[in-house]
Amino acid sequence: MSQDPPHAKSRSVSVDDIGVRRQLADGSEESVTWAELSAVVIRVIPEGPWKEDVFLMLAGADGKGTAVPSGDPAADALIERLQSLPGFDNDKFVEAMTTDADEAYVVWKAEKTSTN
């Protein structure tokens, strides 16, 4: 994987009680609210240690979402928040954060609610 194009680089990431927003260098924004969050995937690519190689992928129920590099200053606050999600697989998270395998690790999925 080559370097991110300039428009894909983060200008800022914010984590709050509403959700996660990533402002990109080109001025566009990616976001997902906690209410719409449907899955959390840790994506590891074999680019490290000199390039970002671990991304926190947050998928929304509407198909939108954002990817936060693990080296971003907001990543620690994001990880703390994600680890508080019910059913978060912390063992799989630790495995993902300590590997150099080219792989995606699903560490959390929203529970499906039935309408019976």
CA distance 74 to 15: 7
CATH code for position 67: 2.30.29
According to the per-residue pLDDT averaged within each range, which of 21-30, 82-91, 95-104 is highest? 82-91
CA distance 8 to 10: 6
Lookup result for tokens 């129920």 = 61
Q: What is the pLDDT of residues 28-85, one digit of tens each?
A: 999 999 999 999 999 998 776 667 789 999 999 988 999 999 999 999 999 999 999 9
Tally of structural domains, the chain: 1
pLDDT band at 111 (very low <50, low <70, confident <90, very high): confident
Q: How many helices (H) and strands (E) are present in the chain, helices listed first?
A: 2, 7
How far apart, in Å, are the Cα atoms of 7 and each of 3, 24, 46, 55, 60? 11, 6, 22, 17, 22
Domain assignment present for 74: yes
Residue 88 in any domain: the answer is yes
Q: Supply the pLDDT for residue 48.
A: 61
Is residue 101 in some structural domain?
yes
What is the domain range of residue 35?
A: 6-109
Residues 90-107, mean pLDDT to the nearest whole number: 94
CA dist 67 and 26 (Å) reads 16
CB 30 within 8 A of CB 22: yes
Domain annotation covers residue 116: no
Residue 102: other Cβ atoms inside 10 A: 12
